[in-house]
Structure 1
Amino acid sequence: MTITRRFLPALALAVLPATGCGTESPAAPADAAPAGGAAAPSPAPPEGAPGTPPPPECPEPGVRVTPGLVEAAMGLRVLDIQLTNCGTEPYRLEGHPHLVLLDADRAPVGVEPVEGSAGIAVVEGFDDAPRPLTLAPGESANAGLIWRNTVTGTGAPVVAEHAEVTPAPGAPAQEITPDGGIDLGTTGLAGISPWRAAEAR
């Protein structure tokens, strides 16, 4: 079985504002006071003002790992994993990420993904040789995790709720929680692709 489409997340649909054909009602002046003489609502405080939530911190060493969509076809699953340079310096990346799959209690499930497709299926990019990447601030790279959720009569099905992702040797691990988890069935097998530059949106 060959999957030809990439495992990167699907493009978000552009939502266009609706326009009406009827006559619009005249809008009240922005500074008009409501009935009863009460004062008009105050504008929202500017970003960074007291009471506004702070922006999310950028993890060390300046990159953020997040889970993307899971593509599914006839029992085959491919999870997109995205790494974004959220720091201020270029970030060099090469090879495959290292994953530790965890259950709901964050204990290892006993299945360690291997580099490449592991013979699970032929999917674009999984068995490519790793290439060095240098991500400028704001740029992203992707890797994919592949598995099957096949269940046989041998053993209990395994589901990983979380995964610890180590982007490169020596880098700190970051935890991700894919939507729906990683349902490995009784296969005991998963594969991981090398990092590659994210496609332009």
Structure 2
Amino acid sequence: MTRIPVRTALALALAASLAAGCSSLADELEREADPARSSQPAAGGEPPVDVDPLTPPGPTDPAGDPPSVPMEVPCSGEGFKASAGMVSSAMGLRAMSITLTNCGTGAYEFHGYPALTVLDEQRDPVAIEVLKGTDGISSGIRNTEPKPILLQPGESVSATVAWRNTVTDAARPAPHGTYFDVAPAPGRAGHAVKPGDGGPIDIGSAARIGVSAWEKTAADGTPE
């Protein structure tokens, strides 16, 4: 049996104590920085996985968010889809296009003006006057007479909606809308769309809008 000098034994004991102390200190520092011990290796020796407590580990649940209405809605049960163009504005005048596309399998005849309703954020109708034609809003907007249109599958018709956001009566609150409900004709199913820029329909205190007659549009979106 080999004897170890007392001085050497003391030195070895001191070194072991310091090593244990360093390990314990390292453990304490790690616990302070990561109290949940989330960065510890998983069973089997796999590398640690960083976990950001501020970021959930997956997509957030969108439940409870109000449904949004896109600028273009899918094909409806009766074979139409609606879309709205960007709002052009100048000196209080607003104008934008609305389009209906025949996405069904049969032809459909259009004749006259769109059946148009302005809806608020809760989809309730806004009390305004809808004029047939846009001359009552501005004489500078294209405004043709209604004519019969036979719309084949894949073809589209469009019309122009115009209004002013000027306030002429401070005692009368100016109505605001969020959606246009567009139908091919009175009595037909409507299609709710937002203006192309997503902005509000800021109707002035006159509380009226004008809409032109349906026109058949070419493939590039211009009237035929």
User: Do both share a fold (TM > 0.5)?
Assistant: yes
Task: Report whether the alignment pairs 1:195 with 2:195.
Answer: no
Q: Residue by residue, what CA displacement relative to the aligned partner does 1:94-122 show, whole Å, maximum 9, x if unpaired?
A: 10011111111122220031101252211
Partner residue of 2:153? 137
Other-structure match for 1:53:
none
After superposition, where does 1:27-176 map in structure 2 within 5 Å? 58-126=75-143, 128-152=144-168, 153-176=170-193
Match of 2:204 in 1: 185
- Match for 2:81: what amino acid? R
The 1-side partners of 2:82 and 2:141 are apart by 22
- Deviation, structure 1 residue 59: 0.6
Which runs of no fewer than 5 residues in structure 1 stay unpaired? 1-55
Identity %: 39
1:135 Cα shift? 1.5
**TM-aligned CA deviation for residue 168 of structure 1:** 1.6
Gaps of 5+ in 2: 1-72
User: CA shift at 1:160, angstroms?
Assistant: 0.6
Counterpart CA distance in 1 for 2:82 and 2:153 is: 14
Measured after TM superposition, the shift of residue 170 of structure 1 is 3.4
Question: Which protein is richer in helix relative to its size?
Answer: 2
User: Number of paired residues?
Assistant: 145
- Letter aligned with residue 130 of structure 1: P
- Aligned residues: CA RMSD: 1.7
**Deviation per residue, 1:144-200 (Å, 9 max, x gap):** 111001023231121110121121233211111222121102121111110001144
Q: TM-score, normalised by structure 2?
A: 0.60
**Secondary structure at the residue paired with 2:146?**
coil
Report if the CA contact (8 A) 1:101-1:108 is conserved: yes
Letter in 1 for 2:125: P
Q: In 2, Cα distance between the equivalents of 1:185 and 1:192?
A: 16
Paired with 2:152 and 2:101, the residues of 1 have a C-alpha distance of 9
Letter in 2 for 1:147: W
Q: Distance in 2 between matches of 1:133 and 1:70?
A: 26
Secondary structure, aligned partner of 2:159: strand
Return structure 1 stretches of 4+ with deviation > 6 angstroms. Answer: none
